[in-house]
Amino acid sequence: METDTVSVLSPVTGWICLAIFGTAWIVIGILLGRKASNLEGYLLAGRNVGMALGAATAMATWVTSNTVMLAPAFALKAGIWGMVAYCTASFGLFLFAPVTKRIHQILPKGFTSGDFVRIRYGRKAWILFLVITIIYSMAWLVSMGIAGGILLHDLAGIPYVWGMSVILFVCVAYTLFGGLYAVIGTDFVQSVIILIGVALVGWLVIDKGGLADSYQHVETHSPMLMKVMLAPALLSLFNNLFFGLGEVFHNNVWWSRAYALRKDVAPKAFALAGFLWLPIPIAAGFIALSAGPLGINVTDPNTAGPVVAGNVLGQAGAVLVFIVVFCSLASSVDSLLAATSDLMAEDIYRRLFNPRANDATVRKAALFSVLGLGAVTWMLCAVSTQDILLVLFLSGGLVASTIWPIILGLYWKRTSREAAFYAMLSGSVLGVVAYFQIGWFSGALVGAVVSMAVVLIGTKLRSEEPFDWNRLPSEDQNH
């Protein structure tokens, strides 16, 4: 006899919430999109985003479906250390904050992260970088579509394919109409809802379950979750840290925000976003750990957080959880759609296939990229689940291998182009090998370690002409 977990909300309520918020995002996107009169406006929101919008968009983008699903799962699987491990992802935002200043300094007219790698390290490293970032971005995008479908199903009984399709449709629509203006504008509203929602839900759940009861229950039923010496949790600490660092340092989601934010506010906005994001995995983790004393059976740790919160708070609370989940999904999907389509239009279309393309043509390419990405993501979400999630976890080694080449390339003119290429290549390959041979907790860690060693040793051994910083702004302006 199979018993399905009963949804917290009725499908009708779920559809009403989806319709209201989906329409709201599209309307906001279209209204804000009117500002995007040229390519810079469409791709980078006119390079004039201020502190409030900047911090909000960085924070909201970092609250992904992974935060909603994996942070509670980390707490359930790895306890206190698991929550701390997940929080280390905020280090990516903290450490990227000073880097944004450097990006403005050396690439004031840059468009993508690919621009920097291409000019700084040459075509070979750039192609490898594009492969890494496209694999990762697609896996991240598809994983969020899948997570969205699963969460909407578990919370409101909306069929997986319909829930996933609506999320993708809404995000594609407003990104298409409004570009980064729409993404950043909706991110602001979404980040306010997420912050208030998570704080409120966390407080209500802990109030109902009681911290003492939660501790007592976990101590009896899952004793190792409260122990300091829990091997897999300790291992996940640095792996997660480097995964987060790699994601932020290489991905165009963050670089496009660095370009879009005003030079004086970018570092502060990223640092503030890190502080705003930091408590969210802790709150989500505590919600999941409250399941036991509240008498809620966890069947799937990945959906435990929202399902527990929805069950405990009744219909009104469940609507709040549903809205928070929808906001967190939309705020990340739109950012990835916008940033990855920039990369495809600017780096792949203009740089690889049509160097003479003018801004209007590139903007068209960006529009088609958003549509194409949406369609491909929908197809992958509809046909596959586990394979894509595996690709996402595997890509930890790939993204972590870019950390050191990016940092050294930004600040040290003697960093070798060849060494940077081989650092990314060897870090990626050995990171994937480590994932399979040592365990899931080692992919990003090994990728970062190997990449650092190769780029440092390679630069030391290989004598190349020091990089001329003047090439960055001059070549970047040759659009």
When the beta carbons of 282 and 403 are compared against another protein, the nearer one is 403
d(CA 242, CA 476): 29
When the beta carbons of 22 and 409 are compared against another protein, the nearer one is 409
Per residue, what are the HEC states of the chain? CCCCCCCCCCHHHHHHHHHHHHHHHHHHHHHHHCCCCCHHHHHHHHHCECHHHHHHHHHHHHCCHHHHHHHHHHHHHHHHHHHHHHHCCHHHHHHHHHHHHHHHHHCCCCCCHHHHHHHHHCHHHHHHHHHHHHHHHHHHHHHHHHHHHHHHHHHHCCCHHHHHHHHHHHHHHHHHHHHHHHHHHHHHHHHHHHHHHHHHHHHHHHHHHCHHHHHHHHHHHCHHHHCCCCHHHHHHHHHHHHHHHHHHHHCHHHHHHHHHECCCCHHHHHHHHHHHHCHHHHHHHHHHHCCCCCCCCCCCHHHHHHHHHHHHCHHHHHHHHHHHHHHHHHHHHHHHHHHHHHHHHHHHHHHHHCCCCCHHHHHHHHHHHHHHHHHHHHHHHHHCCHHHHHHHHHHHHHHHCCHHHHHHHHHCCCCCHHHHHHHHHHHHHHHHHHHHHCCHHHHHHHHHHHHHHHHHHHHHHCCCCCCCCCHHHHHHCCC
CB of 173 to another protein, least distance (A): 37
CB of 478 to another protein, least distance (A): 14
Binding site for another protein (CB under 8 A): 1-3, 5, 76-79, 95, 98-99, 101-102, 105-106, 218, 220-226, 230-232, 234-235, 237-239, 241-242, 245, 295, 297-301, 403-404, 407-408, 410-413, 438-439, 441-442, 445, 448-449, 452, 469-470, 472-474
When the beta carbons of 77 and 208 are compared against another protein, the nearer one is 77
CB of 445 to another protein, least distance (A): 5
CB of 102 to another protein, least distance (A): 5
CB of 407 to another protein, least distance (A): 5
When the beta carbons of 352 and 438 are compared against another protein, the nearer one is 438
When the beta carbons of 76 and 150 are compared against another protein, the nearer one is 76
CB of 225 to another protein, least distance (A): 4
When the beta carbons of 374 and 397 are compared against another protein, the nearer one is 397
Contact 281, 87 (CB under 8 A): yes
When the beta carbons of 37 and 297 are compared against another protein, the nearer one is 297
CB of 77 to another protein, least distance (A): 5
Which residues, in sequence order, are CB contacts of 326 under 8 Å at separation 6+?
17, 18, 21, 152, 167
CB of 178 to another protein, least distance (A): 32
Selection from 479, 371, 407 nearest residue 111 by Cα: 479
Burial 217-236 (b: 16+ CB within 10 A, else e): bbeeeeeebeeeebeebebb
When the beta carbons of 179 and 396 are compared against another protein, the nearer one is 396
CB of 277 to another protein, least distance (A): 19
When the beta carbons of 197 and 293 are compared against another protein, the nearer one is 293
CB of 379 to another protein, least distance (A): 29
Sign of CA dihedral 465, 471, 472, 475: negative
When the beta carbons of 50 and 98 are compared against another protein, the nearer one is 98
Task: Provide the CB-side half-sphere exposure for 118 (13 A, CA).
Answer: 20
When the beta carbons of 1 and 383 are compared against another protein, the nearer one is 1
When the beta carbons of 270 and 378 are compared against another protein, the nearer one is 270
CB of 90 to another protein, least distance (A): 14
CB of 3 to another protein, least distance (A): 5
